[in-house]
Structure 1
Amino acid sequence: MMTDTQAATPTLCRLQLGSELRQIRLKRGLTSTQVVQKLLWSPSKLTRLETGENATVEPADVMALCQIYGVGEEIAAQLKEYAAVTKLKREWWQATAFRPLLNPGNRALFGMESSASAVHTYQSEYVPGLLQTPDYVRVIHRHANYDRSDEEIDNMVELRITRQGVFHRKPPLRYAAILGESVIRRQVGGRPVMKAQLAHIIEAASAPNVTVQVIPFEIGVHRGMNGAFSTFRFRDDFALKPIVHLEHLADHWVLRREADVELYENAFNELQAMAPGPEDSLKLIKNVMEEL
């Protein structure tokens, strides 16, 4: 068990730790207010710990909670191990060149992405980050970040491409993407850039762990029209519930409430059923390439 924990990402350990501590608190019949009053903590400290939002977790804080909750030695040791991983290991995006480019929303997304066992994503406006080519990334960032230097743009491109390492880890991320037809027809960067981007999607979709489908215009109205979203599922040995991620121009949102997650998972399943299968979807992408 300890070996598995030490091999996990800090984000995965933070999420698992927070989830287990919250479940233990609820089983003990304690409110968050009762706990923070006993420890003289601010309410936000316990909330952030239980939702896995802190970059690191102090083992001493975990032990203090375990004492209040009356947790046995074996479970307490495991919880402390989770906290230790957050202190001793660094995530890949904490590299010096990347840190100035990130906000809390980015860090939350990258943490979930690197820790998830499976990601389902729907995108209606642009190619999802995990499928983008360097030239496509550069065009997007040039339009979105006019005040960035050439060096910063280069680092942003490297950051986006480094994210794609989740496809090459062991085991690789299981990834299913559904794209609105406008994604493959919008000429981001002009014909050569877009043609190369579409070829890259086709190549990526040849891997057994990657599935790409396209929602054609002719489908008409569908639930994805409300906006892009991604759902994240985690390792079976870490009993974490799925999480939804929403990203907009100004911020990112993470949804954990069971009813919200179910809503988005059902929407993705509906889109999968409506869209042509992966083989027919790749044929559509090839047809668009030929038009270019």
Structure 2
Amino acid sequence: MAKGGKGPRGKKITLKVAKNCIKVTFDGRKRLDLSKMGITTFPKCILRLNDVDELDLSRNMIRKIPDSISKFQNLRWLDLHSNYIDRLPESIGQMGALLYLNISNNKLTSNGLPVEMNQLKNIRTLNLGLNHLDSVPTTLGALKELHEVGLNDNLLSHVPQSIAKLPKLKKLNTKRNPFPKGDESDAFIDSIKRLDTLYLVDEKDLCGPCLRKCQQARDRLNRIKTTTVGLPRKPMFPNLVSPNSMAKDSQEDWRLHSNITLQ
């Protein structure tokens, strides 16, 4: 431990080191990759490289993200997973170009999620898994472009309806949260896939039109089952022992080749 009990000093990142860590992705984006570098403090020198499209600070020992991170106005992809971050800065809401944010496996609490996150209008993937969240702000329901949300391995007892009803949501991971048994949150467990999702609810919780719609869908499914069960199944390969027409012509050639090979 460093002098004064402040923990390990970590690796010092200079501007030169950071420049050497810039890579070009297959689609021509500039990525600053500082993952697994033993960093304990956000390197302020990288603010001079704020024209990069992607920033990877994952798998370090960073405890705080400064407000100045908002200088990365072109940033589309930000990976902060596996650090010791307990709070996101309010300025993160100013990063309007952000499409991907991964802050899983940190020390985030519900108070560490600023309201300003609802300004990330273009974000498509948000991973908050493996933290200490006991609630999720309903304001995240304003992020209409979200496709994937990770909330797994937290302390959640429920998921806000505003998030589950996001219009473009394809995947919602809520595994390993202490949801009350029998609670309506069971409908969110595992993943939610729009247009291909099974919601389990009690009839008493459905309004009249929704109940009739579900009953009609069930009746159609039962009719399909009734009509298909009685039909004899046509074998896919009725003459399995015989080669097909194309192979039949060359059967002797294959047999001859096989004999030569075995000899």
- Give the TM-score category using the shorter length: under 0.3
TM-score (structure 2 length as normaliser):
0.28
Task: Look at both structures and tell me which one has the larger radius of gyration over its CA atoms.
Answer: 2
TM-score (structure 1 length as normaliser):
0.26
- Structure 1 or 2: more helix by fraction: 1
